Amino acid sequence: MPHQRLRYVEPHIRKALTYSAIVGVIGHRQVGKTTLVSKIGNEYITFDNEIQLRKAFLDPINYLLGHKSPFTIDECQLCHAIFPSLKDHVRINKKPGQFLLTGSVRFSSRKAIKESLTGRIANVEVYPLTISEIYRRPLPDLVLKILQGSLEKILAQHCPHATMTKTNLLYYLDTGGLPGICFFRSPEIRLKKWADHLETVLDRDLRLIVETSIPYPTLKNLVIVLAEAQGEPFEYASLSRKTRISALTLKRLLFALEGIFLIRTLPASGGLNTPTFYFEDQGFVSFLLSRIGFVQQMDQKTIVRLIHSCVLPQFRYRPESIPQFFQFKTRGGAFVPFGIKTRYGTLGLIANPDSDPLPSSIASAKSFLRHHSQSKVLIICSDGKPRILSPQIASMPVWWVI
């Protein structure tokens, strides 16, 4: 199929099957989970099929017997009755690699699943395609190498892939990284797919996590307001005024939106410690804000979106680095959209809307270094050539790092 790509996550799924009886493959709806597990598993069913769902509800114990391993159950969150039986099955038979479970909701967000599978499942999260996956390139490692060694030596040795054009980068933000949507060339078809997708995740998946009578149009307005505020400090009072949803209900809804992989919270440091959040897929943001085809400039927000979509996953797909992500913001105006704390040290990533580092970017980098020992900063520019500004600060064009 034309949309199939070698996914960076695949080796992690295969490895998990060697030591865990149950492996969960979780992630955003349409992120490509079914394609992955169909390739890896030996036998496949989906609970989107009502006949299979009914069988599992009526006799969950026997439903799990007699299948070739790994037995794949797609959209397993639709049948809560299966999880106690899975728990008992692997308690007796501990052989690794028996079950592959996929879900469009975070298993820990559903009580029945969490209580049954805690300590018995290895979860592997699938993220939207990065631009390097789409162009069939290896998982980039420049940013990781910068954390591990000398800026001067690493940049001198680095040989980047052919330049990713501005058109390529902006098109990626238009289409996003969900294989079930992004590979349709027709903008009209993609818009229809996005509209159907939005209704499914809000009217079906979200309600699996939180019981709410809030109608779909109100939920849709909520995610549009969230898209407008992406990357900004988060305040419940302000969001409540804009959406006319109580702060208490908003907390439950935001928990659910994280549970269906729509958004991801980013804690903050530096003095202004109000957290922020980002949408998992940036094509979704373009759709929500009706900006498909309208983003023409490589401004700061555009570079931030590219970093979130294409640089942070480089660490998420390398769990051995033990990454922790945060935002750095001070009362004095220093701003680093993304900090990454790892076993190798801490790295700040600054979006710079020019080919040369702006004074404000350099000042933010120095503030970050004062607050974080054993750290480095990359100033990621809209264009230009890589430069070493100090032993701990370098600048480079965005296409170098993604």
pLDDT above 60: residue 76: yes
Closest Cα to residue 365, out of 394, 388, 400, 340? 394
Instruction: Sketch the domain layout of the chain as residue ranges.
Output: 10-125, 140-160+299-401, 167-263+280-288
Q: Give pLDDT tens digits for 53-72.
A: 999 999 999 999 989 999 99
Domain 140-160+299-401: which topology?
Trna Endonuclease; Chain: A, domain 1 (3.40.1350)
pLDDT above 50: residue 44: yes
CATH number for the domain whose boundaries are 10-125? 3.40.50.300
pLDDT above 60: residue 2: no
> In DSSP terms, which residues pair with 122 in a beta bridge?
23
Least confident of 274-278, 285-289, 293-297: 293-297
- In a 13 Å sphere around the CA of 399, the CA atoms on its Cβ side amount to 20
Structure tokens belonging to residue 45: 């069913």
Q: Is 354 exposed, middle or buried, given 0-12, 13-18 or 19+ CB atoms closer than 10 A?
A: middle
CA–CA distance, 106 with 123 (Å, rounded to integer) = 9
Q: Residue 18's CB: how many other CB atoms inside 10 A?
A: 10
Global pTM? 0.91
pLDDT above 80: residue 291: no
CA–CA distance, 226 with 234 (Å, rounded to integer) = 9
- In a 13 Å sphere around the CA of 12, the CA atoms on its Cβ side amount to 17
Q: Give pLDDT tens digits for 154-196.
A: 988 887 776 788 899 999 999 999 999 999 999 999 999 999 9
State the chain's mean pLDDT as an integer: 92
10-125 and 140-160+299-401 in the same fold: no
> In DSSP terms, which residues pair with 43 in a beta bridge?
71
Structure tokens belonging to residue 88: 């008992």
